[in-house]
């Protein structure tokens, strides 16, 4: 499964009510570091498809959810388990570090 694109309106269904962990990538078109990690997230979405969902939320198009969760910088990655934030990472990281973080949280 590829990366899922979510919105303020679909957040509850796609993330809060999800049956497995969800990584939400808060990003924007103009954000260089966001574009830098996008290919890694696409690859990880395929590699980890049976264990976690990776979702992207454009903060310019969907302002309510980032405000609700206190997103102050992008890219911000939040891992949701059972509808709650379990872990957060801010800033660009290499694919290996993103994968290591995800696997340490969903093991």
Q: Among residues 6, 18, 22, 31, which one is catalytic?
A: 31
Is 31 marked active-site? yes
Q: Among residues 6, 23, 34, 48, which one is catalytic?
A: 34
User: In 1-107, where does DSSP find H-type helix?
Assistant: 11, 32-47, 64-68, 95-106
The residues carrying an active-site annotation are 31, 34
């Amino acid at each position: 499964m590829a990366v899922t694109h979510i919105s303020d309106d679909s957040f509850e269904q796609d993330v809060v009510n999800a049956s497995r962990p969800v990584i939400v990538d808060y990003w924007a078109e103009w954000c260089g570091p966001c574009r830098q990690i996008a290919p890694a997230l696409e690859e990880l979405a395929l590699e980890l498809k049976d264990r976690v969902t990776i979702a992207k939320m454009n903060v310019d198009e969907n302002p309510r959810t980032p405000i609700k969760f206190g997103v102050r910088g992008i890219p911000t990655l939040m891992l949701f388990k059972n509808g709650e934030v379990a872990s957060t990472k801010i800033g660009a990281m290499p694919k290996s570090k993103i994968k290591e973080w995800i696997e340490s949280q969903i093991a």
